[in-house]
Amino acid sequence: MSRRSLWSDPVWELDIDVAGRRADQKRVRWGVALADGSRLTDPQHADLLEAARRFLWSMAVDPPHGRRRSSPSSLFTKAGALLTLIQWMAGEGFAAFRSLDRSAVDRYQAYVQQRRGPRPGKSSPITVGNYLRILKDLYHQRTKLPDALSFDPFPHTTAGLVAGVCRATRRAIAFIPDAVAIDLISKALHWIERETDGILEQRDRYQDALQLARARGISERESRRCAFHAIRARLKEPHPPAPAGRLITTKHDIDRCLKYLVDACFIAIAGFVGMRASEILSIRIGAIEYSPLGASGAKQAYLVARLFKTAEVGGRLERWLAPAPVVTAVKVLERVSEPLRVASGRDELFLTRNTQYCQVIGITNMHINWRIREFAAYNGVRHHEGRAWPFSTHQFRKTFARFIARRDRSQLLALADHLKHVSVAMTAKGYVGTDFDLQQLVDHEGQIETATALDRFLSADRLAGKMGERIAAGNASFRGRAGQQVRRDYIKFVLNETDLSIHACEYGWCVFQAETARCGGRLAPDPAGRSPAVCLDCANFVVEPKHAPYWRERHARNRRIMPNASRLTRAALDEAIAQCDRVLSRLEGNTMSKIAVEGRRNRAARAYLAALDRLIEAKATHPDYAGRPVRITPAAVAKEARRSRNPLYTTHRALLAEIEAAATGPTPASDLAATVARLAASNAELRGVIQQLRIDKRNLATENLSLLHRARLAEDRLRARDRELAALKRPVPARVIPSGPNRAAL
């Protein structure tokens, strides 16, 4: 049957290697008590027991057509439902599966629907469906069993539909509310980063004192008394450890703090990695690995554990991204679990002692669930709607996916930086993890956030930003209850047929389109290029009423620093204040308050004064005035300020006197004109000198060429004369006169 059990054994030890499961969650006990006081393993129930065993085994080796083979974990679940059916049959007087009829099926359905579950109230439709599915499977496997159901218990339908399972009754994966999750994870990080050294110091003090006393040969009671005084002595020293505001004064306090420290590590890993509980509980020593990221030399930390879902027996090794808090948590676990690992020879990090036999065992899912709740209660984690939140391990995975998929992390406080790091790493090329379920969960949560934002945009009548104004101008058919279904259909179409992504920041939303993004982003908004001023001029920008507090605070902040700013700085502040006013006016229905009107009038006055100062100092910025002497007039001041001159004669007549005074008084502009004239004359003189030097240079070049030619001719004549002289100096050969008879002939 398995590596540890035979077919005839009263207890089947299934090959379940998933971490976090208790021993009783890995075995099937066939000797269940029946209504008549007997047990299923008694001889009179041999045929029923054999049929039950064959059914369970057939689901593992030869399941119904189109079904996958049941894993050992699934066999354990099916065995529980099968034994429940057998116990009910014994109470109703049925000794075989074939003896069941439709009336019995109806009674069994009513029985399981009224059966109480682990939670208060009746069993959920999904649980009822699991019990009824056994009847359907017994019918499907009838040709492979000696005893089975002879008729289809639920013809033309499924056990789930009969039990009432539908979208309305199917419970979605719960997630921890943001405020509760932030408080819980923040306090877990505090334990890991601030309380670890103090707790381990007290543990080591106690153990060292205990071993020293035992070595002296004194009694166990006196040895523990010595160890007790050792940890009490630390209270007299400065800054004694006090996790959660409670001093460590006894061995019980040490054990409790060590337990909560392990719980804090589990919470940090679950909150920042998104692993399942079985995967976290399988972490062993040396679980942190580092891989280089490209050619930059930087390294990314990964957490190595075993992935059990849809994997081979024993799971497979897998890697998850590990931000800095997770790396710290694993190091803390290695320090905390060291005594237990040495005592047991095991290498897991999540270990504890069995309270009954004091054996070192692995922490189970059931343990970690109530331990997390105890940790939250001990540290005063905030409640949700007036009640303590019922934490469970599977909630952290959904919460992590929501945090990663969320574009707007402004409400996540200190966790935002860590989650941003993980989010960037998960979308980078350096991520090599294959937890595809987690990736799909993150993508799903991202689509939910996009759909939620689109729903608000389409139903809003007041939006700011260029994209927001376009949406508000054309979304009349989507508003109200009449447009609710139209809105849903449109959002569904956008999510299914496009790759639209919406990104948030503290001052608005970006309906990202790369071709119109002013920040320069290609796949998403570029954080380095984003700013309120840039986004307001971008065609992708949307501002909701919920962002109004940011723009009000920005408006007030700029107004506070305005009195101490120079006139040139005031111009920049005026522009920022004007941006805030434009956004707030759109969000408030295009009606400017009296304060806003007064602020706009003051900004105009400051703009005229700043322009007048630039003209007086000859530092004009207008293209027509830059670098030129300018006659100061109201028209010139208005042109330099890039504003109309009419307000100078209506609402700002007091400025006309300053303009007239500047026009009649001496200004640096006249000095600048004289200087420019002198420099122009000097430049003309220098140009003449340069021209004359160029002419002289050409003449010198001509003369040099003539002299070079004459020198070459002289050299040629000299070489010719040298050759003639050499020829003249050659010796003349002597003439020979013959003698004898021939001489007469001559």
Cα dihedral value 608, 613, 619, 624, nearest 10: 30
Do residues 625 and 615 make contact, with C-beta atoms less than 8 angstroms apart? yes
Longest dimension (CA), the chain: 179
pLDDT digits (tens, 9 = 90+) for 524-563: 788 778 888 899 999 989 998 888 888 989 988 888 888 8
pLDDT digits (tens, 9 = 90+) for 643-655: 888 888 777 777 8
d(CA 614, CA 322): 56
DSSP state of 54: H
Cα 18 off chain centre by: 28
Do residues 489 and 483 make contact, with C-beta atoms less than 8 angstroms apart? no
Q: Given pLDDT bands bounded at 50, 70 and 90, which one contains residue 564?
A: confident
Work out the average pLDDT over 717-734. Answer: 77
Residue with tokens 């679940």: 77
Distances, alpha carbon 571 to alpha carbons 577, 609, 611, in Å: 10, 10, 9
Instruction: Sort 738 into a burial class: Cβ within 10 Å, 0-12 / 13-18 / 19+.
Output: exposed
Return the SS3 of 356. coil
d(CA 393, CA 248): 28
pLDDT of residue 674: 61
Q: What is the pTM of this model?
A: 0.62
Domain ranges (residues) in the chain? 11-163, 183-193+259-422, 439-541, 549-669
What per-residue string of b and e applies to 517-527 under the rule 16 or more CB within 10 Å gives b? bbbebeeebee
Q: Which of 175-179, 411-415, 656-660 has the lowest mean pLDDT?
A: 411-415
Task: Give the bridge partners for 318, in sequence order.
Answer: 305
Residue 402 has pLDDT above 80, yes or no: no
Percent of the chain with pLDDT over 90: 30
d(CA 591, CA 616): 38
Query: What region, left, alpha or beta, does residue 345 occupy, with left being phi > 0 and alpha being psi -120 to 50 degrees?
Result: left
DSSP state of 192: I
Residue 493 has pLDDT above 70, yes or no: yes
Return the SS3 of 47. helix
Signed CA dihedral, 481, 483, 485, 490: sign only? negative
Task: Give the bridge partners for 360, in sequence order.
Answer: 353
Return the SS3 of 266. helix
Work out the average pLDDT over 60-88. Answer: 89
Pairing of strands 502-505, 351-353: unpaired
d(CA 298, CA 280): 26
**What is the CATH number that goes with domain 183-193+259-422?**
1.10.443
Task: Give the bridge partners for 305, in sequence order.
Answer: 318
d(CA 19, CA 310): 14
pLDDT of residue 414: 42
Select, from the ranges 32-46, 453-467, 598-612, the one with the highest average predicted confidence (pLDDT).
Answer: 32-46
φ, ψ for residue 512, nearest 5 deg: -70, 130
The token duo for 229 is: 């005084």
Q: Given pLDDT bands bounded at 50, 70 and 90, which one contains residue 746?
A: very low
d(CA 87, CA 35): 7
Alpha helix stretches (DSSP H) within 588-667: 594-616, 634-640, 646-650, 654-664
d(CA 310, CA 411): 36
Work out the average pLDDT over 685-711. Answer: 82
Distances, alpha carbon 197 to alpha carbons 203, 240, 541, 593, in Å: 10, 11, 48, 58
Work out the average pLDDT over 281-306. Answer: 84
Q: Which of 72-86, 191-205, 290-304 has the lowest mean pLDDT?
A: 290-304
Residue 435 has pLDDT above 70, yes or no: no
Select, from the ranges 38-52, 353-367, 601-615, the one with the highest average predicted confidence (pLDDT).
Answer: 38-52
For residue 105, the number of C-alpha atoms closer than 13 Å in the C-beta half-sphere is 23
Instruction: Sort 385 into a burial class: Cβ within 10 Å, 0-12 / 13-18 / 19+.
Output: exposed
d(CA 16, CA 30): 18
pLDDT of residue 243: 93
Q: Which of 250-254, 492-496, 537-541, 656-660 has the lowest mean pLDDT?
A: 492-496
Q: Mapped to the 3 state alphabet, what secondary structure does 117-163 carry? A: CCCCCECCHHHHHHHHHHHHHHHHCHHHCCCCCCCCCCCCCCHHHHH
Mean pLDDT value across the chain: 82
Helix then strand count (H, E) for the chain reads 27, 10
Residue 400, Cβ neighbours under 10 Å: how many?
26
pLDDT digits (tens, 9 = 90+) for 356-400: 778 888 998 888 999 999 999 999 999 998 999 999 988 888 888
What per-residue string of b and e applies to 654-681 under the rule 16 or more CB within 10 Å gives b? ebeeebeebbeeebebeebeeeeeeeee
Return the SS3 of 217. coil
Residue 101 has pLDDT above 60, yes or no: yes
What per-residue string of b and e applies to 452-491 under the rule 16 or more CB within 10 Å gives b? ebbbebbebebbbbbbbbebbeebeebbeeebeeebeebb
d(CA 130, CA 446): 32
Residue 432 has pLDDT above 60, yes or no: no
Instruction: Sort 7 into a burial class: Cβ within 10 Å, 0-12 / 13-18 / 19+.
Output: exposed
For residue 540, the number of C-alpha atoms closer than 13 Å in the C-beta half-sphere is 25
Residue 339 has pLDDT above 90, yes or no: yes
